[in-house]
Amino acid sequence: MMSKDQTCPGSSLLLSLLVSNLKRPVATLAVLAVLALSACSAPASRDAVYDPAQPFNRMSHGVNKGVDRVLLRPASQLYAAAVPTPVAAGVNNLASNLSEPSAVVNDVLQGNLEDGIHTTFRFLLNSTVGFAGLFDVASSIGLEKRESDFGETLHVWGAGEGAYLELPFLGPSTTRDFVGVVVDGAMNPTRLAFTSTEERQAIRRLRGVDLVGDRAQNGRVIDDLLYESADSYIALRGLYLQNRRYALSGGTVGSELDPFYDPFSDPFAAPFSLPNRP
């Protein structure tokens, strides 16, 4: 069992491999996934925090916080003031619909055929009757969105959570979930449907606008987290891990949002740490 002060064998090597192979073929990503499975075990308990790369993570957190302060936060405030709510909802629906095929792939990889069929019908309905996903018709008839990603797939396959990571422009993650993000990006079926440069640029713009919209929708909570916390790095790390573990447990581990949670009560902190979609 690892203590809070032990480092995961090869964790620095794993991090450098992940960062340097962002654009490698899927076969390389599969190798990285295996490395992630073997490099680190899950924390000793659901409240444990394993953060061997904290200096790097704090540097990345500073970059991300600066980007939010200078770019994302002002853009989200302008977005909230200028974009009508129905338009913002449509943008969110469009971006969400593009993620559904990837969720279906992961449902199949997890052996979760029920969710795979559910999400397939949801995608087909919203893509047709919902005008390419502009309107979430499926939810109105009981086909609510069910999230799934390759990080969850690795979890189902028995991969440990690994070390906590925060990377520039990508935000909080773990070694397992970061591998999941990279693999999801490489194997997303929408890459096969939209092959031209113009189409892919349009999708990137849509997701960028959706990111600003999400920042606007959750503005007060994010402002409190980043700018009102005594240590915003600790607060973000704790919220991410708590919510991610809750989601992967199917709601059986802890509470998704505990109003009585005190980030400065974590016994694993050194000088302090915090617990917790990923």
pLDDT higher for 195 or 117? 117
Percent of the chain with pLDDT over 70: 73
Whether residue 265 is predicted with pLDDT greater than 70 in this model: the reply is no
pLDDT digits (tens, 9 = 90+) for 27-68: 455 545 545 454 445 554 566 899 999 999 999 999 999 999
pTM (two decimals)? 0.77
Q: Say how many C-beta atoms besides its own lie within 10 A of residue 76's C-beta.
A: 22
Q: What is the 3-state secondary structure (H, E, C) of 37-68?
A: HHHCCCCCCCCCCCCCCHHHHHHHHHHHHHHH
pLDDT score at 93? 96
Which stretches within 43-149 are classed as H helix? 54-67, 73-82, 85-98, 100-109, 113-128, 137-140
Going from N- to C-terminal start, the domains of the chain cover 11-265
